[in-house]
Structure 1
Amino acid sequence: MKHSNHVSNEFSEGFNMLLAPLIKFSTVVHSIILDGEMLVYDTYQSRYFTKGETPVDVKNIKDKSSKFRPCFCAFDILLYNDESYMNRPYTERCQLLQQLFKDRIGVMVKTKPIRIRDVDHMLDLFNAAVEKQEEGIVLKDAQSIYKPGDRQGGWYKVKADYFDGDVVKEFDCVIIGGFYENLNSRNFIHKYLVGAVEKIDEDCMNVFAVGEVSQGVTAQERIKINESQTTSC
């Protein structure tokens, strides 16, 4: 089920056909409600796709022969065997969630909470998430209860575009290089090396490398960039 702006849409039919037969719990489960997110898993490349690069809408994956498979990533537990856990502290809910099932790659996995030591530790985790092309991290108060839609209930999303100041700025860059994700299959550029151009005169310019870009590029944009031809002199 997808919930957005208080409007719910039912998508169980497709997921029940492809995903439900593969899900196995470690203990007896009569009824359960989990909070989580559907991911697109590529069975050929053994990888998950981020939202910005997903080549297919996870809700439209219905062909069993497709290389793409929906995978459920569980964040939290709301109900277990007819007993509500919403008013229990996050630490208790998290402990139960870890016991319910073993991760099965590309089918059903769960987030692995990390206790943050200090601000530097949080920044290290955030930078690691960005490097792995994830949206960011979510900070949760260990004693917080589950409050649907409450952004001030002890949970805080930390994403680059949430920051003020100089973290996110828009400026034009040129693609000056690229990196393959898999050196054994050099047919799709995964990261782009971008640079800034300094024009000296009509016939001369300097190009300075600025950094790498791997997020925010859709699959269609990647294909267009890969198919484009460039020349240099």
Structure 2
Amino acid sequence: MGELPTYTPMLAQLGAPPPPGEDDEWGHEMKWDGVRVLAYAEGSALRLISRNGRDVTATYPELYPLAGATGGRDVVLDGEIVAFDEAGRPSFSVLQHRMHQRHDERIRHLVASVPVTLMLFDVLHVGAEPVIGVPYTGRRELLEDIVAPGARWQVPVWFRDDGPHALELSRRLGIEGVVSKRLRSVYRPGRRSPDWIKVKNVRTQEVVVGGWSTGQGRRASTMGALLVGVYESGRLAYVGNVGTGFTDETLRELGALLAPLERPTSPFDPPVPREQARTAHWVDPVLVGEVQYAEWTPDARLRHPSWRGLRDDKPPTEVTRESEPPQLAG
């Protein structure tokens, strides 16, 4: 059998839940707060490829047995790698401990202390045949038939015809939101399609780190805040400082990552306001992170942003401002 073809993930648009009169045309899944991967299971081997094409297989060895759970079929699966907190909720901050590890001994230790689970929600290829042209309902049935349950992966339940219930359940469970998918929709690799709508319970925004400011008080020897931006018309626009949401361990890790990236000039265009620039240390804009925030201000700044963690599944130049989640507006 030939090698499985390479795919890129289909993406969802941010939006409001489908209108009640159209709910029978949609299915709804939990929006897992983790890292998106495509899983290529061939023979007894598994490859995990991130959204930006990086091979992250070695980072998550507890997922290797998935290759033997597909009934002997070579498949390409779509899913999200998730870590859970002590209350059993998906936690992006807990997942941070796993995302950037490359050392085998450290990874083996973390498999025991911070295990991950792969939430599988789609199938793109089975054997020699692509199935991206099969409607969503058919792909879900195929996925549930192919994948045998495992300790570190699952095919989560989805909800048909009941979007309000799915969204309310996501709120009660402390989950980021839901993804509503049109039942007749096909899988469009690499496309951001209105056939998939992500409905968020909280405001989050991906940002690019362009610098950091000197800390004060107990942070005098470390970082005070990150200076962050998003891309607009090919330029990195400053959107604010992030000074909360950091643990001591996070500060140490960020300091080690930022030190070799330091540069003499600001990467932001237009320039950062003088007050923020006065104590700034500029860095090459290569690190992507995610923040939770209260709202966008009229002058395009993030109000009360709090750090959630680094992301390694998206190129910096693709980080742009997301619109406000409609169900949270006002």
Determine if the TM-score, normalized by the shorter chain, exceeds 0.5: yes
Contact 1:129 1:137 in 2 (8 A): yes
The residue correspondences of 1:74-85 to structure 2 (distance < 5 A) are 74-85=120-131
Q: Which runs of 5+ in 2 are unaligned?
A: 1-48, 204-305, 310-330
User: Counterparts of 1:10-159 in structure 2 under 5 Å?
Assistant: 10-15=55-60, 17-21=61-65, 24-25=68-69, 27-29=71-73, 31-41=74-84, 47=88, 49-52=90-93, 54=95, 56-60=97-101, 62-63=107-108, 66-105=112-151, 107-116=152-161, 121-159=162-200
Aligned-partner residue type, residue 50 of structure 2: K
Distance 1:126 1:46 in 2: 20
Cα distance in 2 for partners of 1:157, 1:22 equals 27
Q: CA deviation at 1:81?
A: 1.0
**2:53 counterpart SS class:** strand
Note the C-alpha offset of 1:217: 8.4
* Partner Cα separation in structure 2 for residue 35 and residue 122 of structure 1: 22
Q: Which amino acid aligns with 1:104?
A: G
TM-score w.r.t. length of structure 1 = 0.57
CA deviation profile, 1:52-111 (whole Å, cap 9, x unmatched): 554623453721562221221111000111210111111111101011123334x11112
> Which structure's relative contact order is higher, taking Cα pairs within 8 Å and 6+ residues apart?
2
Alignment of 1:177-216 (within 5 A): none
Distance 1:39 1:142, change over 3 A: same
Q: Judging by fraction of residues, say which structure has more helix.
A: 2
| Gap change, CA 1:35 and 1:63, over 3 Å in 2 | same
- TM-score, normalisation: structure 2: 0.41
With over 3 angstroms needed to count, the CA separation of the structure-2 counterparts of 1:2 and 1:147, relative to structure 1, is: same
**C-alpha separation in 1, matches of 2:88 and 2:196:** 28
Name structure 1 gaps, 5 residues minimum.
163-215, 220-233
How far 1:14 sits from its partner (Å)? 2.9
What is the CA–CA distance in structure 2 between the aligned matches of 1:145 and 1:104, rounded to whole Å?
27
Contact 1:89/1:145 (<8 A) preserved: yes
Give CA-to-partner distance per residue, 1:113-161, whole Å, 9 cap, x none: 2111xxxx42222121022111111111111000124333411111134
CA contact (8 A) 1:53 1:218 kept: no
How far did 1:33 drift? 0.6
Amino acid corresponding to residue 28 of structure 1 in structure 2: G
Correspondence for 1:169: none
8 Å Cα contact 1:40/1:58 also seen in 2: no
Q: For the Cα contact (< 8 Å) 2:81–2:117, is it kept in 1?
A: yes
Q: Secondary structure at the match of 1:146?
A: coil
Distance 2:165 2:307 in 1: 24
For the residues of structure 1 that align with 2:163 and 2:69, how far apart are their CA atoms? 32
1:147–1:26 distance in 2 versus 1, CA, 3 Å: closer
SS at 1:37 equivalent: strand
> Bigger radius of gyration, 1 or 2?
1
RMSD in angstroms over aligned alpha carbons?
Answer: 2.8
Tell me how far apart the structure 2 counterparts of residues 124 and 57 of structure 1 sit (CA, whole Å): 32
